[in-house]
A and B are shown apart, each in its own frame.
Chain A
């Protein structure tokens, strides 16, 4: 339910971009849906990379207490 609402909101935001004039300084920044795609990729990437980080740095909670 919440997921669908979020999805609908996201689609609405991209559709809005078609009607709202927005100012862009860098050309690629003006592409339709640039911020949407970049936001999605960024968070996805951050979580996946962070997850891999666990392999190297995860330790037991009492690691320093020994």
Chain B
């Protein structure tokens, strides 16, 4: 059992699901992550499987602490999401979800780059069905855009691998930029791999597939999507590029720009996507700093983030499921109808905002400590602003506009029991990790010598930062300065490929058509002129077609004879 590649249980299990009766499929999907997690518990660190294919030695399975921690949380997230999706009677979604999770898990245990690439592409191909399963025109188009970008990331990865293999002669997936080196000195292979990871990790300007596609996914699909793709990228960066300085700057920008978009976004699931993007920034900063403390911070953050982000997506999904809308402008006052969902949502909101005793705090503190230790002053200031930003959109905006605020008049039933159960487990885990951080710290790749609650001053300043941010929100509301929610969308970089590029292509084809038209007209005119002159000369009335009298012919013959006589004589 231990020689079976992790993740394969889910991929094969996913393929078997369609054979089951439709009513059992959801339960089958719930059992698979449990089996997978059991298998993971049997794996021991340092274990690996190597094979030789066509003279190249590959390492399809490599088990170490970094892989294991991602493996555990991926299985936990898959279980929670499958529990949440227990009511779904759609074979496509169950199969796609299980194969997607399985390939993401396979990828974090891949020891070589080729295996990583294969799983990388399977995650793209399977996850798109969670978007298409919404079966609307918008979802179909968003899914296509998502697929093109994800597959593009895979193509870049493969080209990068080929270059890298050519340069280094190795296919092993290990640190790609060594200590003392940087992106500047790296070869094209490493650059391409970095870019491929960057797309999947939603680096600034490469990010918009995330906000474009996830809000179009099905209610349960979005919960799955929120957990795996981007965290697979975080894993890949932590493995390949720890300590790559460029990541610090990229990460800070990532934490900052999405918060402005989140303020004015009306679709609450899209707000969560901007929030997801911002959270990835914190992890990327940690990876960029690259010390043991910082890497532990990034990985701990990924771990807890998967839980509270899934919890937030589940709560918003439950709202969408019961009310049929997720627009902030149409929601409000739902705590009356959905008190449990509201409570779970608040736990998620407090966790992501990193309130002491909640999971976000014990993870983020590691990264922040590493930032302080390294004297990254600007980064520290930036991350503090970003933390207040998280408080704004995920800590307050999400629960406030859905469950409190203006009463929308919507009265509905509480979320179904299995949804509440999934949210409840996630909420317990969020608080549990926040109160007993050692449980999480024990899983991290490096030994942790850090106690988040040892210095009460740290908790105090965190409370100050968050509650004064909340105060600012309340002041803005009272002063009427808070932007009202409106039924509108906001442009992001997707405008370039959804509007600008099609327009440019359209105008080019239009211009080409004009040129062709003109060319045809000119050619036709020239042809007509030519024909006219031909007709003038050769036509029935033309000079050369005239009938000549016999007399003139005889005369010309006489002239010719006379001329030849004269020539002969001379």
A47 touches B489 (CB 8 A): no
Q: Which of A25-42 contact B (CB under 8 A)?
A: 25-26, 33-42
Enumerate the 3 nearest inter-chain pairs by beta-carbon distance, A residue then B residue, closest first: A22-B457, A50-B263, A42-B388
**Closest beta carbon of chain A to B102's beta carbon, Å:** 34
Contact A43 B464 (CB under 8 A): no
Which one, A43, A59, A63, A64, contacts B388 given CB within 8 A?
A43
Cβ contacts under 8 Å, A9 to chain B:
467
Distance in angstroms between the alpha carbons of A7 and B489 in the assembled complex:
34
Q: How far is the CB of B459 from chain A (nearest CB, A)?
A: 9
Question: Assuming the A-B contacts A33-B464, A57-B491, A58-B490, are A39 and B469 also in contact, with contact meaning beta carbons closer than 8 angstroms in the complex?
Answer: yes
Interface centre among A14, A26, A50, A63 (most CB of B within 10 A): A50
Looking at chain A's contact residues, the main secondary structure is helix
In the complex, the answer to whether B461 meets A22 with C-beta atoms within 8 Å is: yes
**Interchain Cβ contacts under 8 Å between A and B, 17 examples:** A6-B470, A37-B468, A40-B471, A42-B384, A43-B391, A43-B469, A43-B470, A44-B476, A46-B259, A47-B472, A47-B476, A47-B481, A51-B263, A53-B260, A61-B488, A64-B499, A65-B138
Bitwise, B484-524 to A at CB < 8 A (1) or not (0) is 00111111100000110000000000000000000000000
Is B455 positioned at the interface, with any CB of A under 8 Å from its CB? yes
A35–B490 touching, CB < 8 Å: no
* Contact (Cβ within 8 A) B488 A59: yes
Q: How far is the CA of A41 from the CA of B37 in the complex (A)?
A: 45
Q: Is B41 an interface residue (CB 8 A)?
A: no
Q: Chain B, 440-472, contact with A by CB distance < 8 Å: what is the 0/1 string?
A: 000000000000000111101111111111111
Encode B165-198 as 1/0 by CB contact (under 8 A) with A. 0000000000000000000000000000000000
Report the nearest B residue to A34, measured CB to CB: B461
A47-B482 CB under 8 A given contacts A6-B474, A22-B455, A42-B384: yes
CB pair B464 A14 closer than 8 Å = yes
B490 adjacent to A57 (CB under 8 Å): yes
Q: Among the interface residues B456, B457, B481, which one has the most CB atoms of the partner chain A within 10 A? A: B457
Beyond known contacts A61-B488, A63-B489: 11 more, CB 8 A cutoff: A3-B478, A6-B470, A16-B460, A42-B389, A43-B473, A44-B476, A46-B259, A51-B481, A56-B491, A60-B488, A64-B499
Tell whether B483 is near chain A: CB-to-CB under 8 Å: yes
- In the complex, the answer to whether A64 meets B377 with C-beta atoms within 8 Å is no
Q: Is B155 an interface residue (CB 8 A)?
A: no
A42 to B263, CA, bound (A): 13
Query: How many residues on chain A are close to B (CB under 8 Å)?
Result: 46
B261 within 8 A of A: yes
- B262 contacts across to A, CB distance below 8 A: 50
CB distance from A23 to the nearest CB of B (A): 6
Task: Name the one of B463, B481, B491 contacting A59, with C-beta atoms under 8 angstroms.
Answer: B491
| Given known contacts A58-B490, A59-B488, A25 and B457 CB-to-CB distance under 8 angstroms | no
Report the separation of the CA atoms of residues A25 and B368 in the bound assembly, to the nearest whole angstrom: 12
Question: Please, which residues of chain A bring their CB within 8 A of the CB of B465?
Answer: 35-36, 38-39
